[in-house]
Structure 1
Amino acid sequence: MELASSSDVSEIEVVSPIPVDELRPWLASLATTFLDDSEGDNFDRMHEMWRREWELVRSWGVRANGRWVATLATEQRTISIPGPDGATVDLVADALTAVTVSATHRRRGLLTQMLSESLSSAKDRGEPFSILIAAEWPIYGRYGYAPASLASNYTLFTRARERLLTTGDVGSVRQVDPAELGEIAPAIHEACRPLRAGGVDRPGDWWARRLGLKGYQPINHGKTPNYILHESDGRPDGLLRWAGTKEFELNGELGAVSVADLITATPAAYRNLWAYLAGLDVVGEVTLQRRPVDEPIRWLLADGRALRQTYTGDDLWLRLLDVPAALSARGYCGSGRVVLDVVDDDTGGYASGRFLLEAGDDGAECRPTTESADLRVSHRTLASVYLGGFTLRELTIGGSVEELTPGALLRTESLFATTLPPWNATGF
């Protein structure tokens, strides 16, 4: 499909899907906007990664005088959402990625054209919501996306490592090569992902691309990673990817390492891999990114201040497309009944309507209704509380929640409560 911009028919065209023979220049435009390499070895590797799975990508782009000036892609991903009794369930979602507009073509409505088509397509496919990881906060609200989970970065200061970790056994930890890890990493991640809401899957060749398997050449910025496996009773249940970021010096100055992945399916794997990190020789600092906001390891440290939370910010954003489907799929805390008047004035207006939500021991059902509403809520606020990352009361400050029936806000907030904050370890 090719559509012309109403502002200049002869110059600009919106294209979807992107032909595979146009993938390389399309990616060059993407890389340039994201301050990445648009040529050279790393770019060649990125092109090969995209090319090999291009048929799975739903793609859009804008050409101006034959040159790509905007990009957008989506793919089908599976995400864990709150389920019954503190567990989670999986739901298929639209995942938005690779969104760029060249600085030469801003404020011409190009993103609106692409994203309007993208959201409409996702709605037509029956995907209940769309997710993304936003490069910048202000961009996506007008399209109906809202922050739905947080993530934190940490630094662990390990100088007193002999006394730092009060528990842990590194005897069940061993170093492995990429090939061995590639065989078992998918299963470990899929065992870990359901432990919290917000976990996005790693389908297809995700691990092969990262580990340099199946003919892929990995894109490593910095030193080659080290791969660590944890086993309990001979069964793999945890993995770690880390690389050095700072050399140690003979004058006593210690080095530093950065953790790319810490994935654990059991408490033992969690404790023991942290114990391994705390015990690394000639290392004074261990940095970790995109971790849970409530990282539990603090409660196992002899000195909780050795773990410093250096950043906390929005991670997953969510755009509701089908409120009855999304709310019916979710689990709730206890039983209850509430009528929600959902206001959606953003692109598409997909979430607008009045809906009856009934939750009980046998699950939940959400459907349109003409009953009087108990709570009026913006669709962005509903998206923010969907995974359990935020509460209705903390979002009332923005004026997006109006209690129409006394007590309805507290009842609804109690229904949406989760035992743990959501967490996603996977970029896309």
Structure 2
Amino acid sequence: MSSQDGPEIRVLASEAELRRALVLFRTAMVGLPPGPSYPDGRIGEYLEPGRTYGAFVDGGLVGTVDATTGDLVVPGGRRVQHAAVTHVGVLPTHTRRGIVTALLRRQLRDGRERGDVVATLRASEATIYERYGYGLASATERIEVDVRRAALRPTVPEAGPVRFCSYPQAWDLLERIYSRNLPDRPGGIERTPRWWAAQRLRPVSAGPSYVVVHGAEGAEDGFVRYRPVDTAQWFTSRDRTVVVDDFFAPTPEAHASLVRFLLGLDLVDRIVFATMPVDDPLPWMLTDQRAATVGPRSDETWLRILDVPAALAARSYRGGGATVRIAVSDPLFDDNTGVFEIGPSGAVQVDGPPDLGLGVAELGSLLLGGVDIGNLIAAGRVRVRTAEAASVAHDLFAWPRAPFAGTMF
């Protein structure tokens, strides 16, 4: 197909094309570190068959996107089928020609036919994905702890058993721990076997790297992966820093025990928790709360609802018993456009005038309960008939735990 007709979009299936797509993605991203080194003939163990797309212009591959099927947690603990979208890239020679639009629209349509209720991604740029119906639905915070000032309050639970594990054997144990203790926090996602397979192939660290698990052997329920940085002057440095790359603590006991372990490390002045929920209790666990510096906050989950009736029906709602009617518009999927009545007992599609109106991107921001609808109203992104309707919608969609995935893909 010629460039004048627009790109040809098709599923990539051969080993050669899939590898070319991965190289193309890193070329498009410019500054990413080297990715996994996939063994010959086994790339299908890491990329889900049928979910990698290529864009071709004049016979040449110029753009790509792929996804992996899994589950995502919505408020109330139910799980919906989810597409983890990644590797969105276009060659620098072919940007701003509608190639990303063609790729993502094809992917979204096919995902809906597969039964995906939502799709999520991690955005390299914050201005790209709203036009395709994605809304920002969760955020993360960096927490930096000055170990020299950090003492735990006596009310913090005592530590449970922890022990070290070594790479590469640790990967099997970490996968078992995560799968047996799937998080119930909204926004949590399944770490699929393909996700774990890719982790095994990544360089763990250029220097030392450690894994500690929490819980009795055979009943572990949490883990932390951490590494020291700038180790060349470790013994003479006055700012010896450890970075926590993966902190999985789905229970209060695991959280307290792993924090207690990290704060007890010798020869460490500073601990940086790179990616934490915005409501993590760590600062409140310290006698000197200023020992923890919180921020900056970063966007995490960008969520696109593919099946609005299914997504609204899957999650739970709060509030005092009142209902509200919302009109949803989706330019890509006609079945998503309509009026839905939402109350503490659930959501159903109805006829009649709405109390609020919004686009599918705004609904995606609200779905996990971490975005205040009042902010969207103030920004002009949600139309509302009455202040009472806005208050009812706020109470229904709000959730006591901030959404958080904690998983990059």
Give TM-score, length-normalised by structure 1. 0.86
Is the contact made by 1:240 and 1:261 (CA closer than 8 Å) also made in structure 2?
yes
CA RMSD, Structure 1 to Structure 2 (Å): 2.6
Q: Which residue of 2 aligns with 1:408?
A: 389
Q: 1-side partners of 2:237 and 2:8: how far apart? A: 60
Q: 2-side partners of 1:42 and 1:403: how far apart? A: 46
Q: Which residue of 1 aligns with 2:348?
A: 366
Q: Which residue of 1 aligns with 2:64?
A: 71
Deviations 1:260-315 (A, max 9, x none): 11111321211111111111111111112221011201111111111112310211
Q: Secondary structure in 1 aligned to 2:378?
A: helix
- Identity in percent: 30
Q: Which residue of 2 aligns with 1:30?
A: 25
1:254/1:222 CA distance change after superposition, 3 Å: same
Counterparts of 1:258-273 in structure 2 under 5 Å?
A: 258-273=243-258
Q: Which residue of 2 aligns with 1:44?
A: 37
Residues 1:421 and 2:383 aligned together: no
Residues 1:391 and 2:372 aligned together: yes
Deviations 1:295-345 (A, max 9, x none): 201111111111112310211011122211110111111444322111334
Q: Which residue of 2 aligns with 1:239?
A: 223
1:56/1:426 CA distance change after superposition, 3 Å: farther
Is the contact made by 1:158 and 1:164 (CA closer than 8 Å) also made in structure 2?
no
Q: 2-side partners of 1:48 and 1:258: how far apart? A: 35
Deviations 1:107-130 (A, max 9, x none): 111111111111111122232222
Q: 1-side partners of 2:251 and 2:235: how far apart? A: 38
Is the contact made by 1:145 and 1:380 (CA closer than 8 Å) also made in structure 2?
yes
Matching residue within 375, 385, 390 for 2:356: 375
Q: 2-side partners of 1:267 and 1:275: how far apart? A: 12
Q: Secondary structure in 2 aligned to 1:178?
A: coil
1:223/1:333 CA distance change after superposition, 3 Å: same
1:22/1:205 CA distance change after superposition, 3 Å: closer
Q: 2-side partners of 1:268 and 1:351: how far apart? A: 41
Deviations 1:217-256 (A, max 9, x none): 3323422421101115973121111111122544452411
Q: 2-side partners of 1:5 and 1:115: how far apart? A: 20
Is the contact made by 2:82 and 2:119 (CA closer than 8 Å) also made in structure 1?
yes
Q: Secondary structure in 1 aligned to 2:362?
A: helix
How big is the shift at 1:158? 0.7
1:249/1:20 CA distance change after superposition, 3 Å: closer
Is the contact made by 1:57 and 1:74 (CA closer than 8 Å) also made in structure 2?
no
Gaps of 5+ in 1: none
Residues 1:227 and 2:211 aligned together: yes
Matching residue within 170, 175, 179 for 1:181: 170
Q: 1-side partners of 2:144 and 2:208: how far apart? A: 21
Instruction: Answer with 120-129 or 412-421: which moved more.
Output: 120-129
Q: Which residue of 2 aligns with 1:283?
A: 268
Q: 2-side partners of 1:304 and 1:49: how far apart? A: 49
Gaps of 5+ in 2: none
1:43/1:55 CA distance change after superposition, 3 Å: closer
Q: Which residue of 1 aligns with 2:126?
A: 137
How big is the shift at 1:37? 7.0
Q: Which runs of 4+ in 1 moved over 6 A?
A: 46-49
Is the contact made by 1:45 and 1:219 (CA closer than 8 Å) also made in structure 2?
no
Q: 2-side partners of 1:238 and 1:182: how far apart? A: 13
Q: How many residues align?
A: 406
Is the contact made by 2:9 and 2:56 (CA closer than 8 Å) also made in structure 1?
yes
1:135/1:117 CA distance change after superposition, 3 Å: same
Counterparts of 1:5-404 in structure 2 under 5 Å?
A: 7-8=4-5, 13-35=8-30, 44-45=37-38, 50-56=43-49, 58-83=51-76, 88-161=77-150, 163-164=151-152, 166=154, 167=156, 169-170=158-159, 172-178=161-167, 181-190=170-179, 192-210=181-199, 212=200, 217-231=201-215, 235-247=219-231, 248-251=233-236, 253-334=238-319, 335-345=321-331, 347-348=332-333, 351-360=336-345, 364-367=346-349, 369-404=350-385
Is the contact made by 1:254 and 1:282 (CA closer than 8 Å) also made in structure 2?
no
Instruction: Answer with 412-421 or 181-190: which moved more.
Output: 181-190
1:202/1:112 CA distance change after superposition, 3 Å: same
Is the contact made by 1:232 and 1:269 (CA closer than 8 Å) also made in structure 2?
no
How big is the shift at 1:78? 0.7
1:165/1:253 CA distance change after superposition, 3 Å: farther
1:96/1:251 CA distance change after superposition, 3 Å: closer
Deviations 1:96-148 (A, max 9, x none): 11101111101111111111111111122232222111111011111111101
How big is the shift at 1:90? 1.1
Q: 1-side partners of 2:137 and 2:13: how far apart? A: 30
Q: 2-side partners of 1:36 and 1:61: how far apart? A: 22
